[in-house]
Amino acid sequence: MYVVHSTFKVPPEKAEEVISIYQNRSRKVDQAEGFLRFLLFQNDKKQGELTVHMEWESKEYYLKWVTSSEFKEIHDLEKKYPDQELAAVIPTVEKYKVVAL
């Protein structure tokens, strides 16, 4: 299994807006080969810190997703988001190979 975390910080007053965006996401990734699970975490003490958690069967499936036209389409839409402060947020991405369950 392969896990990817994308953590980003938004102004705390905009956290609910971002959460709503993810609650209403396109779900295209859910159809990707090898995709297992999506979760959105909110830091309990820092309300504006959010982490997208995705689980994949393998690193290869994840790499196939990030080079897909669907991935590009989704991320191009993010750049066009009307709130330019949110559109400019750059996440910190961490990738993990699961070595024990």
Give 24-75 pLDDT, tens digit per residue. Answer: 988 999 999 999 999 999 999 999 999 999 999 999 999 999 999 999 988 7
Please, are residues 51 and 92 in contact by the beta-carbon 8 Å criterion?
Answer: no
Q: What is the per-residue DSSP string for 14-82?
A: GHHHHHHHHHT---TGGGSTTEEEEEEEE-SS-TTEEEEEEEES-HHHHHHHHTSHHHHHHHHHHHT-S
- The residue that leads in pLDDT, 54 or 84, is 54
CATH of 2-97, one of 3.90.330.10, 3.30.420.40, 3.30.70.100, 1.10.274.10: 3.30.70.100
The domain ranges of the chain are 2-97
Supply the pLDDT for residue 81. 76
Paired tokens of 85: 């402060």
* 83 phi-psi bin (left φ>0, alpha ψ -120 to 50, beta other): beta
Supply the pLDDT for residue 97. 98
